[in-house]
Structure 1
Amino acid sequence: MDIQSASFASFLTAAAIVCFTPGPDMLYVLSFGVSQGRRGGVSAAVGVAAGMAAHAVLCAFGVSLLVSRYPVLLSAFKVVGLCYLIHLGVSIIRDKSNMAVSVVRARQHCGRIAYRAMLVNLANPKVIVFYVAFLPQFTSSSGWPMPAQLLALGAVFVVIGFAADASVGLLSGALAQRFTRDKGLTRKVNIGCGIVMFILAAVLAFDV
């Protein structure tokens, strides 16, 4: 049985459940959607998808499996991701500027937001372990070569994940329009988004 058989339907169901269940990546996208508008939310979703795609490629060619076997490397990824999330949280809370949902500012920061989101996703060791444990379950020794099967499954997973995250980015971005002229609410949103980064750092630190 290969990925063109009935097992592919099971994969789609499992992938949809995983992707549409709220988690660290979705919270990250939501925070940028609220603080930067629709473009910011979608940009964060693009970055997360880019990280997922990189993990899929690494999984397909065995790199993720190698990394997952060495606790020291996993710990290094965790420390990098933890420090980066804390840095983002502090930066957002210290930002006292007005909320940016204008087209001009959003375009200036789209690439940077996507890049940050990609780094956060890549630095999460739990994502590495997830790909190694999840994707191979839906492959077969017959049919396509194993790397090809893993790449195909990874691509589908990235598409589903992007659809979920982009939806959250658009919806949260729509909410941001309500705060554009209220400096008090803008400040509260920045603090809230910074706290989200700290929560994500705690999730990564304590593996919850």
Structure 2
Amino acid sequence: MEIQSTLFASFLLAATIICVTPGPDMLYVMSFGVSQGRSGGVAAAAGVAGGMFVHAVLCSLGVALLISQYPWLMLVFKAVGICYLTYLGISILRDKSDLSVNAERSKRPYAHIAYKAMIVNLTNPKVIVFYVAFLPQFTSNSGWPVPLQLLTLGLVFVTIGFAADAAVGLASGALSKRFAESKTFTRKVNVSCGIVMFFLAAVLLLDI
């Protein structure tokens, strides 16, 4: 018994798009990449990944228990997921800001950077809603037990997120310069990602 291949493929696509979309966590990693160097950027990415891991574990325990007791909640989660993806699409399309960073010049211990990044991720309510609304969409009653499916999907999402954030941390100097010089480039990225969010919401709607 395993996670359905079509659902997993859809999850990989959605997770990758979400992880490479500029957001608060990526900006946070970028700021430390610019101010603390490549190692500082990777340390911040590791902290964000640590927070994501905690969210994944909590989601696999709590959400799975609720779904097992109240199967109709899956429809609720799907509805929330559709609304959330639509909200993301609208927010991204409306975002006309540039990706300026806050370059703090004093060097900091990498463990402290990772800890701060993890706390920022853990205390972000949007991340909590994301895990509750997003991961259950890609589970199946015909596969592994739901808790194991959620944990597996969560770990895959953490891995993809860390890879994306670490890449930003390593190349943050060049990326931040490019974004700062061209707001048009930033706008094109936002429009493309916003359209994809609407597409994913439509896919979920057709699945209800």
TM-score range, shorter chain: 0.5 to 0.7
The residue number in structure 1 matching 2:6 is: 6
User: Which amino acid in structure 2 is aligned with residue 165 of structure 1?
Assistant: D
3-state secondary structure, aligned to 1:141:
coil
User: Which amino acid in structure 2 is aligned with residue 167 of structure 1?
Assistant: A
User: Which amino acid in structure 2 is aligned with residue 125 of structure 1?
Assistant: P
The residue number in structure 2 matching 1:114 is: 114
Native 8 Å contact 1:34 1:175 kept in 2: no
Native 8 Å contact 1:43 1:113 kept in 2: yes
Mark the runs of 5 or more structure 1 residues left unpaired by the alignment: 67-91, 179-208
Native 8 Å contact 2:63 2:132 kept in 1: no
Native 8 Å contact 1:55 1:64 kept in 2: no
**Number of corresponding residues:** 142
The residue number in structure 1 matching 2:36 is: 36
User: 1:109 & 1:22 partners in 2: Cα distance?
Assistant: 25
Matches within 5 A, 1:59-208: 59-62=59-62, 99=105, 109-172=109-172
Native 8 Å contact 2:30 2:41 kept in 1: yes
User: 2:133 & 2:144 partners in 1: Cα distance?
Assistant: 19
Shift of 1:141: 1.2
The residue number in structure 2 matching 1:190 is: none
User: Which amino acid in structure 1 is aligned with residue 36 of structure 2?
Assistant: Q
Instruction: Give me the TM-score of the superposition, normalised by structure 1.
Output: 0.62
User: Which amino acid in structure 2 is aligned with residue 115 of structure 1?
Assistant: Y
Provide the aligned C-alpha RMSD in A. Answer: 2.6
User: 1:174 & 1:32 partners in 2: Cα distance?
Assistant: 13
Native 8 Å contact 2:3 2:139 kept in 1: yes
User: 2:111 & 2:155 partners in 1: Cα distance?
Assistant: 22
Native 8 Å contact 1:65 1:132 kept in 2: no
After TM superposition, what 4+ stretches of structure 1 lie above 4 angstroms from structure 2?
63-66, 173-176
The residue number in structure 2 matching 1:23 is: 23
3-state secondary structure, aligned to 2:141:
coil
Identity of aligned residues (%): 71
Shift of 1:137: 0.3
Per-residue deviation, residues 124-170 of structure 1 (Å, max 9, x unmatched): 01101100000000001122111100000000000000010000000
Instruction: Give me the TM-score of the superposition, normalised by structure 2.
Output: 0.62
User: 1:161 & 1:13 partners in 2: Cα distance?
Assistant: 13
Shift of 1:65: 9.2
